[in-house]
Amino acid sequence: MIAKLTLLFTVVTVVELTILIPIGQALGTLPTVALVLGTAVVGGTLAKQQGLAIWRRIQQQLANGQLPSDSLLDGLAVIVAGAFLMTPGVLTDVAGISLLIPVLRSPLKAWLKTHVQDMLDGSSVTFIESRSFSSTNFENPYDSERSHQNSRKDDVIDVPSSEARNDGSDGSEDSPIELPASS
């Protein structure tokens, strides 16, 4: 995955430079730099405005008990658009602007929904086994039979209560607590 992302960033950078150099030669250095900075500022401002509007819509949908799936996808698209618009280049600016236009991001949202649904329906979703949990065997920690089978005696430390005893003493004359030696 990292190799693919590295390749993608390298290819995008080379393509962007291939486009920006002729634009710089045609317009001049200063106008080209102003164009790149201008798209970053305008894109960041638009992404912030749309992001806040989407955030309010998500909060409203959650308050009404609705699942905000479309709004979450809109929010993701606006975040990606903001990143694209802040990245210097013509292609990333075009991609960012297209993601900020709701009509143009609708096909992307439809494709994402279909793709995620296909992943969930098929076997292309994989669970990575960790040290704590098995990918195929999630145990109920409150199931007493399994809990006792999996616990070790060394895992339990029995500590006497620090409450006052019946005879009125505070229990300070008790022997110190001994912990098992770690192996």
Residue with tokens 């300070």: 172
Q: At 118, phi and psi to the nearest 5? A: -65, -40
Segment 35-86, tens digit of pLDDT: 888 888 888 888 889 889 999 999 998 898 888 888 888 888 999 998 888 8
pLDDT reported for residue 66: 85
Q: Identify the pLDDT of residue 133.
A: 46
Distance CA 181, CA 183 (A): 6
Which pTM does this prediction carry? 0.58
Q: pLDDT tens digits for 133-144?
A: 444 444 555 555
Interatomic CA distance for residues 85 and 80, integer angstroms: 9
Instruction: Supply 62's token pair.
Output: 């959650």
Question: How many angstroms separate the CA atoms of 21 and 28, rounded?
Answer: 10
Give the model's confidence band at 106: pLDDT under 50 very low, under 70 low, under 90 confident, else very high. confident
End-to-end CA distance of the chain: 39
